[in-house]
A and B are shown apart, each in its own frame.
Chain A
Amino acid sequence: MSMRPRNLGERMVYFAMMGITYAILLVVVYIIADVVIGGIGTISWEFLTGSPRKSGEEGGIWPVIVGTFYLVIGTLAVALPLGMSGAIYLSEYARQGRMTRLIRLAIVTLAGIPSVVLGLFGLGLFVIFLGFGASILSGSLTLACMILPTIIVASEESLRSIPQSFREGSLALGATKWETIRRNVLPYAIPGMLTGSILGVGRAAGETAPILLTVAAFFLPSLPTSIYDQCMALPYHLYILATQLPDMTKARPMQYGTALVLISVVLGFNIAAIVIRSYFRRKYRW
């Protein structure tokens, strides 16, 4: 509905509201541009594939990238099957009742727990109580707890968008419930489920507080070789470079370079998710 503002006063309010809204856009563009412009000069083959030297003031960030890669894979390996299965239960099996309400309450609660508190939890349970130590395993499990709600919510939404008739057709032909889900629901829901999960992974790759307490090391002489090793990670590396070095301004190129790589990884996941979403939206239509 378009109704033109009536008088000068209304028009001014209208433009003021528009200005306030677009101020947010400007800030977002400014932040991204600042990181890109500041970091692009640092990006080189040596930076991406070399090891840090002089406590990170020089050299590259290869082990840092590898560490983040391992953490992302570990987190996915735990959170993806759990989250998708949980979503299948909520969408296909669950009836209204106490159990379902409790599960939904737990998901909302988990989503609201601050990441640093989850870090404490990971420290208490995985690192100390279960004896995994500060390791990729502990960090991945902690991050998995953090992104589980995102994956469940997105996957359930995707499952629910599959028309009921897909299920009814299959059931009417005598298929069991599981056969129906596997052959007539999941194939169409998987793209949507993956999209939501990728957004979650982006978050996991960018989080610092949970890995600070459960896995991250500032400098390791060699790449991790098992899930019980510590690893370096992009967000933690940036934090250290930006706050813990004796001469912070000297490391500025490294800081901006790391920030640019980190933001590219995280936003890369987001953009991938958006592209996949629009591709499959065009492919399947009902």
Chain B
Amino acid sequence: MAQASQYWKARLIRYLFMAAAATSILIVVLVFLFLGRESVPFIAKHGLGAIFGGQWQPVSFENEQFGMLPLITGSILVTLLATVLAVPFGIVAAIYIAEMASAAEREIWKPVIELLAGIPSVVLGFFGLVVVAPLVKEVFGLTSGLNAFTGAVLLALMAIPTIITISEDAIRNVPQSYKEASFSLGASKLQTIWKVTVPAALSGIVAAVMLGVGRVVGETMAVMMVTGNAAVITFSPTESVRTMTATVAAEMGEVPFGSDHYHALFVIGVVLLLMTFGLNMVAQRVLRKYRIG
């Protein structure tokens, strides 16, 4: 009898812990469910094609327009610029920290990267507003520093910790024997780094960049504060753009519950969710599949 109750107690404990772990599954399912649920009314009324309309004019007396193309291109422009800025810095720093820095240097770099990753995005946005935007305005001779480029600079700063951490991991995981083989053939340290170590770690570096991009696409506050938020289709870095994230955050507070505008913002949420989900899944797959050793 005592043993039977022991058995059931053990099972109960096991299931309790399992339930706690399974909460993550529940949350993810609920996220998809609730975003879907709130965006269906919009799709049902306006059709899927409305997403690709060229005008975002959600508040208007005559004709409300919910074309999301300017927001999508805004997000893409800022993300691309940020990636172009972040990738060289992130990868070179990862190589330097993993392969060239002394042990003492490495000790400072871990907290520095954690520090950068830890700065809240609203503080970065504020810094962008007060320091970066006036600088960009000055340097490029513009009338306003609130544009895609300024946003991209801040986003690059946010992507850099992700890129460094994951790339460094990948570079360090390259087996010592690869490097030794290269050295024994007479290659120098730099030749070995660029021709052996980096190519061997390339898949990890690619995944790192993708995860960084995933962070950038979803970033909200900093972008909202410095990109100027004009919903226009443009591919010029010095123009004001409005990203998907900024649109949701800025407009959700003011929309009437249940209106077309309200549901349209949820549609943007779904688009964002699918984009980041896709990026993450591919990056995870790359990380898992091409791990060396």
Contact = CB atoms under 8 A, between A and B. Distances in A.
Interface of A: 1, 3, 5-6, 10, 13-14, 17-18, 20-21, 23-25, 27-28, 31-32, 34-35, 38, 81-82, 85-90, 92-94, 99, 102-103, 106-110, 112-121, 123-125, 128-129, 145, 148-149, 152, 176-178, 199, 202-203, 205-209, 212-213, 235-236, 238-239, 242-243, 252, 255, 259, 262-263, 266-267, 270, 274
A238 B119 CA distance: 14
Contacts of A85: 16-17, 20-21
Interface of B: 6, 9-10, 13-14, 16-18, 20-25, 27-28, 30-31, 34-35, 37-38, 88-89, 92-93, 95-97, 100-101, 111-112, 114-116, 118-127, 129-131, 157, 160, 179, 183, 188-190, 211, 214, 217-221, 224-225, 245, 248-249, 252-253, 257, 265-266, 269, 272-273, 276-277, 279-281, 284
B34 A121 contact: yes
A112 B10 CA distance: 34
A206 B123 contact: yes
A212 B249 contact: yes
Given A17-B96, A82-B23, A121-B34, A267 B118 contact: yes
Nearest to B91: A20
A177 B123 CA distance: 46
Contact of B92 (A17, A94, A119, A274): A17
Q: Which 6 A-B pairs have the closest CB atoms?
A: A114-B218, A206-B120, A85-B20, A89-B17, A112-B280, A86-B21
Nearest to B189: A3
A84 B88 CA distance: 37
Contact of B125 (A14, A116, A239, A274): A239
A94 B269 contact: no
Contact of B245 (A106, A116, A149, A267): A116
A125 B31 CA distance: 9
A34 B276 CA distance: 32
Nearest to B245: A116
A25 B43 CA distance: 47
A262 B123 contact: yes
A117 B267 CA distance: 11
B125 to A, nearest CB: 7
B21 A14 contact: no
B21 A89 contact: yes
Contact of A209 (B20, B118, B249): B249
Most buried by A among B37, B88, B120: B120
Contacts of B10: 176-178
Given A116-B218, A116-B248, A242 B225 contact: yes
B123 A106 contact: no
Contacts of B253: 212-213
Given A17-B100, A24-B160, A93-B14, 19 more contacts: A6-B188, A17-B96, A24-B112, A34-B127, A34-B130, A81-B20, A82-B20, A99-B22, A112-B211, A113-B218, A118-B31, A152-B21, A176-B10, A199-B118, A206-B120, A206-B121, A239-B225, A242-B129, A270-B115
Contacts of B27: 106, 110, 145, 148
B269 A5 contact: no
A224 B218 CA distance: 31
A74 to B, nearest CB: 17
A149 B189 contact: no
B188 to A, nearest CB: 5
Contact of B126 (A88, A119, A255): A255
A111 to B, nearest CB: 8
A274 B129 CA distance: 31
Given A13-B190, A21-B96, A243 B18 contact: no
Contacts of B126: 238, 242, 255, 259
Contact of B118 (A25, A114, A266): A266
17 contacts: A10-B189, A14-B190, A32-B115, A93-B18, A112-B280, A116-B220, A117-B272, A124-B35, A125-B30, A152-B21, A152-B24, A177-B13, A178-B10, A206-B122, A212-B253, A242-B225, A243-B129
A106 B220 contact: no
B119 A266 contact: yes
Contacts of A14: 100, 190
Contacts of B125: 239, 242
B121 to A, nearest CB: 7
A252 B95 CA distance: 40
